[in-house]
Structure 1
Amino acid sequence: MTYSSVVVLYFLSFFTQAQNTIPEVEALLSKMTIEEKIGQLNLVTPGGGIATGSVVSSNVEEKIKAGQVGGLFGIATPERIKKAQDFAVNKTRLGIPLIFGSDIIHGYKTTFPIPLGLAASWDMELLKRTAQIAALEATADGINWNFSPMVDISRDPRWGRTAEGAGEDPYLGSAIAKAMVMGYQGDDLTAENTMMACVKHMALYGASEAGRDYNSVDMSKIRMYNDYFPPYKAAIDAGVGSVMTSFNDIDGIPASGNKWLLTDLLRNQWNFKGFVVSDYTSVNEMIAHGLGDLQAVSALALNAGLDMDMVGEGFLTTLKKSYDEGKVSEAQITNACRRILEAKYKLGLFDDPYRYIDQKRPAKDILRPEHRKIAREAATKSFVLLKKHNNTLPLKKDANIALIGDLANDKTNMLGTWAPTGDFKLSIPILEGFKNVAPNAKISYAKGANITNDSIMAKNVNVFGTTVVLDKRSPEELLAEAVAVAKKADVVVAVVGEAKEMSGESSSKTKIQIPDSQKQLIRALVATGKPVVLVLMSGRPLVIEEEMGLPVSILQVWFPGVEAGNAIADVIFGNYNPAGKLTATWPVNVGQIPIYHSIKNTGRPQPTETFLKFKSSYLDAPNAPLLPFGYGLSYTDFEYTDLKVSKTEIAQNEALSLSVTLKNTGNYDGEEVVQLYLRDVVRSITPPNRVLKGFKKVFLKKGETKTVTLDLKAEDLKFYNANLEFVAEPGDFEVFVGTNSNATQKASFTLK
């Protein structure tokens, strides 16, 4: 983008802001002191014990009464939130209501699968529905602002927060971002069952170096615009009310103080009208980044375009001094305050500060039976069948089953990471789910192994409560018991994988395999000669080359949520035919990372998987992943034929449709996610080998054939060129349609 166009965008943004002000907000701003405006920029969370018995600690109470708090997070229930709102409305000079936020990442009390699992459903209506239920339940408890969705693109599964996002692809990630924002916010933010969403983390957080949380990011603008920015922009275009900054730096400047990111891009280029909040103490953390003391970094953040400071209180304690010294202006403080007040206005809080406080709603709207039913459906649709062996699955409902594994009779891990509002005690363990779905089956249980035998790892993952328990029995005793149970069964189902806090925030790992304790268990169970099914739990792609080579079936179930056991049993016993597809590539080994489907050719591409000297390849591993993006099997089989394009030549801004014949050639009814990939053969900057540009979920009865139509919009041919112009360049294109990113049905067309 040229300098002149940035200047034009700046003045257009300024003019538009002047035209779109809210009279009630402007009237309030005219009455506010500079200290009161700064107070609105402060977001806090109560901590420690509540000595006075009120909803918040005495220190936070005093700040609310002094007009020094704009919002609270970390509290819930109508009673507690009403007490806090009373302080703001009745004890301050202007009676400005608080906004109440929370991290509602994959459901409120009704906990759905982790976001990476939900994404594997490729079902936008389902994802939207889960967000609607989360909003209904959270607002019933008085919360009106949600720190979700997280839309960071992640191509490094060592990064623990891969679990919180939609995977590696900007097209799919954009569709999911839009669905989640629309689900949370609906058509009317003042409605009692909707809440303001907050897209995060702006920006590039999923590309932290070495997959280590909070680490640096170094990336070209072309990659930012083409690969990492689209989901954030999709959320902005969907009308998201707020944006949260990330912890990492961008071009050497941390996101919370990056003016190019928060003002030039977010507001001037993307025309974002909502407010921007920091992540937890990320303003203060710019001190450790090396950008100055608290006063300096707080002024840097405000000048960059940050509106609200989460927890750190640098704005509260230093902005007045910076204003007095001319380091920040009153206009900048007023603009930040205006955006926060406008958010409260849009939520209807000025009309009724107690709009979201109704003591009758929790019993009526939280954990409804139909919510649990949808949680069960969402979980079944998130599962991905990674391998099927000898038609072991689905199991008969009267089978003699050995159910093995620490995770097989466990409630604490079923909700997965970042479920702070959920209650693990309400979750259905797998053993219970098996008995519910197959009451005539003979089921024998044995633990078999600890999730890990590593006491240091167990200590590290038990920070938020005990999710890994080291059994008093020796590993040898646990293993012997499991083998004995397996030998008496017709089939073995082993539930293996990660504990919930082995992924998530601050849970980066250099070894992303199944823990050694469980790998030994798997080998011993296979050695019995019994048919073995692995039910695999994780919050990230794992390295499972060994397990894929064993004579086992493998069902990836992520962390399924409150209905975990019932949903897993539904799929294991054939009530539902799995149709999930991976949204992140699974590597052969950690050395292949980063690995993703939309790679580019080098000048020396490897033509086959056979090693060739002086080609871009490894001496000790293939280039290809273990499991490609979009991969997922079914109990049935699907055949693709006869791909056609509606035109072989199209004009600029003209759409194109494609059709393919899909046949269910197996013995079960089932769903298939038909995927469309595009390759720009020649363009002004090096193109990826292929990029996802369409998908459709289709149900076919066994033996049924359907013609599936997919559309390519004019926008789908565009990319950001070297000048960061969004263009479609004339030339030849190839399209691929199939069951994953290695789709082989191919057609071509030309853009004039």
Structure 2
Amino acid sequence: MKRTELRNLLRQMTLHEKLAQLTQLDISFLTSQTESELTGPAQRLPSGYAARRELGSVLGGTHAELSVSLQRQHLEESRLPIPLLLMADVVHGFRTIFPIPLALGGSFDPALCEETCRAAAKEASSAGLHVTFAPMVDLVRDSRWGRVMESTGEDPYLNAQMAAASVRGYQGHDLQEPGRMAACVKHFAGYGASEGGRDYNTVDLSEGMLREYYLSSYQAAAKEGAAMFMTSFNTMNRIPCSANSHLLQDILRKEWGFDGVVISDFGAVMETIPHGLSADAKEAAEKCLRAGTDIEMMTTCYLDHIESLVAEGKIDETLVDEAVWRVLELKNRLGLFENPYKDADPVREKAVCFCQEHRDLARRAGQESCVLLQNNGVLPLKKSLKVGIAGPFASSKKLLGSWSFFGYEDRTVTLADGISEKTGPDKIRIAMDTELGSLRKGETDVPDDIQEACRVLADCDVLIAAIGAHPDDCGEAASLVSLGISPHQEALVRAFRQTGKPVVSVIFTGRPLELGEICANSDAVLLAWFPGSEGGHAVADLLYGDCNPSGRLSISLPRSVGQMPLYYNRANTGRPLPPGAKRGSFVTGYLDCDFGPLFPFGYGLSYSAFRYSDLQISGNTLPLQVSVLLENISDRAGTETVQLYIRDIAASVVRPIRELKGFQRVHLEPGEKQRVCFTVNREMLSFYNQELQFVYEPGEFEFILGPHAEGGCAARIFLE
């Protein structure tokens, strides 16, 4: 539709119709046929609520036939021909589920991330969805927070690369292309910094900290052309984000030039009342609309109160018009006025959803996302060995993780399935294949039959402990004070160790866990995260060496939950630990725990071995080249993720001890050498000073090229 026609349509709308465009309710208000799960408290509205015919959008997943039916009914009943927007949380896949974002971030492969989002968009759009509430780009440093599984980790640079790739994957270059959908970037802003790791909690960040670390991923997504932003539940410096004009107007719209739609999170407009910012729903509506929240999700403050606010002269109707215009423009960008059913097609849906191409992609994504933490020569396994598996994930299909309610869980490939296909059924034996209750501390609903499991597996050559975290203990409203593995599972691994057989622990989880005890009693440890629909195949491929591990940690793994928040790019104190020390007196650290992580950001082993040498810097003026000689010193081809870190030695404000500024996945054959080169420019060395200016300051810098945040070759240079 031409913009002049769209403007004319806006002029024809009544104020009530405009406000309905700014209201999103759950799909259950229109039909009982839904697969969605409510992820918040639903406002109780009368059945057949009066605005249902004029609603601008609905929340919830569906299928093609239902999408077409809903859209047709909506257009038949509406006074004006304005189609519905259908939105849902397609976070890491629709029918085909890919590894959780925290795992996918560890692939250090933005192109792979883009592919998975493109596949998810193809599936979801074939079912009639127009908008996905993804990517989630919150930077997370505290693993007590359950939504860490939706993030791509603790680093602003890596998160920004993955955020931009996700937007490209969902949206492409034209939202009207088949198989594309609008990306809604969430949660703006700083949700991952919730105090104490408690969900929905207060966030209090200095403006410098906010800009230096937390905003870069949102900005990258906005720059990539994301169509929509979602506000976060938390307060940011004492103002709830849905009513925070500094975030929504000053930064998002004025600084970054974002001209798309802003939607609240589930009930967040109404929640400004318990926050203490609004006295009632009427005040909540006024404050949030003024701040820049266009669509109110799952409550009706706008619909119920803005008409009276306009009548009282407290809100100018032009403010409403601006918000409605952005909603109409999004519908127009999607091509819904010409084709309100867009890609919804049962035939296409059947052909695309869970197709072999997408399952193959899920398998490859799983291979690249799993992280080999430890290997004392046990892996890769020989297919001639008899393998014994025990633990709650031995043959469980609960490998999808949170935010996968559209996925085909019953078609998930289990670990036992994957191994059996490699070795044949006569080379695998399963014991203690329990329900998932044993994953939760304090629950004793599963018999402690560990000794019986060891007896059953006595004739096996290798023992695999398939252990981890309960899937329901990760995701929204899943904050924890403990990150430990449950006692049942630790006891299982200890019992395996006592048999004298080689022990391989495979960890399935949606968040970092305390793995010290597991590592101490295992010969090899593979962190599989929640690997998705093809998880069993991907893990088996890695265990048996059909694929060489290349995944890295996108987040530091703690020794203890008491280290939270834990992250590599911290600032030094005036009393840092001496180089190489783990504890000390009158220095920053703990009396009862080593200071650093159990495994650092960027860490991950493979079946190959690589040597870094001969770091070179091309000159002392910017831009310059920093390079290192990388050599595969093993007899196996492999992929190494070379990471570039920088350190500003002395600046006008304290700078981090290391910052990731680049990475490259490099594949080398046995004995092969390659010089890996990075270009360093002024922007990469710039930061926000005390006046919040983004500046470059001449001085001494250290460049580090290595395999993770605590290793590599380093050199210093003075730059003008």
TM-score under structure 1 length normalisation: 0.91
- Aligned residue for 2:718? 750
Which of 413, 419, 431 is equivalent to 1:428?
413
Equivalent position of 2:510 in the other structure: 539
Question: What's the CA shift for 1:249?
Answer: 0.2
1:658-683 Cα offsets, whole Å, 9 max, x none, are 21111111232111100000001111
Q: In structure 1, what is the equivalent of residue 21 of structure 2?
A: 40
- Corresponding residue of 1:109: 95
* Cα distance between partner residues in 2 of 1:302 and 1:362: 37
Is the alpha carbon distance of 1:344 and 1:217 closer, same or farther for their aligned partners in structure 2, counting shifts above 3 Å?
same
Q: Which residue of 1 aligns with 2:685?
A: 717
User: Structure 1 vs Structure 2: percent identity of aligned residues?
Assistant: 39
Post-superposition CA distance 1:667-700 (Å, at most 9, x none) = 3211110000000111111100010000000111
Return 26-35 or 573-582, whichever deviates more.
Answer: 26-35
1:143-292 equivalences in 2 (<5 Å): 143-291=129-277, 292=279
Cα deviation, 1:268-288, whole Å, max 9, x if unaligned, reads 111111010000111111111
Whole-Å Cα distance in 1 between the matches of residues 139 and 423 of structure 2? 39
1:63 to 1:747, Cα distance in 2 relative to 1, 3 A:
farther
In the other structure, the counterpart of 1:438 is: 423
Is 2:577 aligned against 1:591?
no
Do residues 638 (structure 1) and 610 (structure 2) align?
yes
Paired residues for 1:677-696 under 5 Å: 677-696=645-664
Q: Residue 133 of structure 1 corresponds to which residue in structure 2?
A: 119
Unaligned runs of 5+ residues in structure 2 are: 37-43
Alignment partner of 1:364 out of 351, 361, 365:
351
**Which SS does the other structure have where 1:583 is aligned?**
coil
What letter is aligned with 1:25?
L
Q: Which AA in structure 2 matches 1:74?
A: G
8 Å contact from structure 1 (residues 46, 74) kept in 2: yes
Q: How does 1:655-674 map to 2 (within 5 A)?
A: 655-674=623-642
Give the distance between the partners of 2:350 and 2:199, measured in 1 at CA: 38
Structure 1 pair 449–108 and aligned structure 2 pair: CA distance change class (3 A): closer
Which amino acid is the alignment partner of residue 224 of structure 1? L
2:399 paired residue number: 414
AA of the residue aligned to 1:567: A
How many correspondences in the alignment?
Answer: 711
Question: How far is the alpha carbon of 1:326 from its aligned partner?
Answer: 2.3
In the TM superposition, residue 66 of structure 1 has moved relative to its aligned partner by 4.0
Shifted more, 713-722 versus 93-102: the winner is: 713-722
Residue of structure 1 equivalent to 2:40: none
In structure 2, distance between residues paired with 1:276 and 1:714: 33
Q: CA deviation at 1:481?
A: 2.1
- Helix, strand or coil: the match of 1:407? coil
Q: Is the 8 A contact 2:188 2:232 kept in 1?
A: yes
Question: Aligned-pair distance for 1:124?
Answer: 1.0
Tell me how far apart the structure 2 counterparts of residues 525 and 603 of structure 1 sit (CA, whole Å).
45
More moved, 682-691 vs 359-368: 359-368
How far apart, in 1, do the equivalents of 2:547 and 2:381 lie? 12
Question: 1:516 and 2:501 equivalent?
Answer: no
Q: Distance in 2 between matches of 1:28 and 1:673?
A: 53
Answer yes or no: is 1:624 the counterpart of 2:596.
Answer: yes
Determine the C-alpha separation between the residues in 2 that align with 1:88 and 1:64: 11
1:174/1:234 contact within 8 Å kept: yes
The range that moved more, 374-383 or 345-354, is: 345-354
Q: 1:532 to 1:151 in 2, by over 3 A?
A: same
- 1:308 is aligned to 295
User: Contact 1:676–1:735 (CA<8 Å) still a contact in 2?
Assistant: yes
Is contact 1:402–1:491 with CA below 8 Å preserved after alignment?
A: yes
Matched letter for residue 318 of structure 1: H
CA contact (8 A) 1:401 1:441 kept: no
Moved more, 84-93 or 550-559: 84-93
User: 1:324 is aligned with what amino acid?
Assistant: A
Whether the 8 Å contact between 2:439 and 2:470 is mirrored in structure 1 is no
Give 3-state SS (helix, strand or coil) of 1:409's partner.
Answer: coil
Give RMSD over aligned pairs: 2.1
Contact 2:90 2:132 in 1 (8 A): yes
Please tell me whether the aligned partners of residues 100 and 529 of structure 2 are also in contact (alpha carbons under 8 angstroms).
yes
Q: Separation in 1 of the partners of 2:333 and 2:323? A: 16
1:480 Cα shift?
2.1
SS at match of 1:695: strand
Question: Is the Cα–Cα contact under 8 Å of residues 379 and 567 in structure 1 kept in the other structure?
Answer: yes
Cα offset, 1:59, TM superposition: 6.3
Contact 1:449 1:518 in 2 (8 A): no
Equivalent residue, structure 2, for 1:80: 66
1:353 matched to 2:340? The reply is: yes
Separation of aligned partners in 1, 2:634 and 2:84 = 57
Secondary structure of the residue aligned to 1:660 is: strand
- SS of 2:714 mapped into structure 1: strand
Deviations along 1:314-373, one digit per CA (max 9) or x if unpaired, are 111111122222222201111111111111011111122122222321122211111101
Residue 490 in 1 paired to residue 461 in 2? yes
Distance in 2 of aligned mates of 1:31 and 1:518 = 64
Question: Given the alignment of the two structures, is residue 480 of structure 1 paired with residue 461 of structure 2, yes or no?
Answer: no
Q: Is the CA contact (8 Å cut-off) linking 1:51 and 1:58 kept in structure 2?
A: no
Distance 2:660 2:176 in 1: 36
**Contact 2:395 2:433 (C-alpha < 8 Å) held by counterparts:** no
Where 2:325 maps in the other structure, the secondary structure is: helix
Q: Which secondary structure does the structure 1 equivalent of 2:27 belong to?
A: coil
Distance change (3 Å), C-alpha of 1:455 and 1:751: closer
Q: Does the 8 Å contact 2:139/2:192 carry over to 1?
A: yes
1:581 shift after superposition: 0.4
Q: Is the 8 A contact 2:582 2:596 kept in 1?
A: no
SS, match of residue 679 in structure 2: strand
User: Per the alignment, in what secondary structure is the counterpart of residue 360 of structure 1?
Assistant: helix
Return 5+ residue gaps in structure 1 as ranges: 1-20, 459-468
**TM-score normalized by the length of structure 2:** 0.95
Structure 1 residues 685-719: Cα deviation after superposition (integer angstroms, max 9, x where no partner): 11000100000001111222111112223321111
Between the aligned partners of 2:296 and 2:366, the Cα distance in structure 1 is: 36
Quickly say closer, same or farther: Cα 1:747–1:456, change in 2 above 3 A.
closer
Instruction: Tell me by how many angstroms 1:127 deviates.
Output: 0.6
Which residue identity is paired with 1:662?
Answer: L
